[in-house]
Amino acid sequence: MWKLSLVLALALPAMGQKLGVGRAATADEVKAADIGVLIDGTNLPAGKGTAVEGKEVFAKRCAKCHGAKGEGGDEAPLVGGKGSLTSVKPLKTIGSYWPYATTLFDYINRAMPFNQPGILTPDQVYAVSAFLLNQNGVIQENDVMDAKSLPKVKMPNRDGFIKDSRPDVKKRVK
């Protein structure tokens, strides 16, 4: 017991002090890390792309894991499954399940390709998002996706979610 007291006696004063390591992030570093895109499109970067352009990006950066057309391979299918959610074998994809196209941009932008996240330019993320939306029959192959058009895309399953009726949630979610 005395040993524990000794340890605490030595450790406690030190815990109140600064450790002398690290530094505050600069405003530029905070800005570079602040890439979160909200469902209404807030924080979408400048840039644009179409499905035609995205086809190339997908073939080069995504197809080896998700299949040539996004049908799935070693990793999740990104296309198809429309109308399957109420069946015994629901297939959740961008087309059948995802409620917002802006979330697609955000997810790809921060997390894909899985083995090299962050390597795509904003134009490439818009283009590959457009490609996946087109593969799912949501937009045409020459529709230009950018900060204005992407939030306006109506996803097939947008209204397929049950609204959370808790009163405290209502205040936060429009």
Radius of gyration of the chain (CA): 22
Burial, 139: exposed, middle or buried (Cβ in 10 Å; 0-12, 13-18, 19+)? buried
Distance of closest approach, residue 116 Cβ to ligand HEC, in angstroms: 8
Q: Examine residue 107 and tell whether it contacts ligand HEC (CB under 6 A).
A: yes
Residue among 5 and 87 whose Cβ is closer to ligand HEC: 87
CA angle 132, 110, 170 (to 5 degrees): 85
- What is the C-alpha separation between 67 and 115, in angstroms, rounded? 16
Q: Are 35 and 122 in contact (CB under 8 A)?
A: no
Q: How far is the CB of 126 from ligand HEC (least distance, A)?
A: 11
Using rule CB under 6 A, residue 69 touches ligand HEC: no
Question: With CB under 6 A, what is the number of residues at the site for ligand HEC?
Answer: 18
Q: Which residue is nearest to ligand HEC (CB)?
A: 62
**Is residue 55 at the binding interface for ligand HEC, with CB under 6 A as the rule?**
no
Residue placing its CB nearer to ligand HEC in the complex, 8 or 68: 68
Using CB under 6 A as the criterion, which residues of the chain lie in contact with ligand HEC when the complex forms?
61-62, 64-66, 75-76, 78, 93-94, 107-108, 112-115, 120, 128
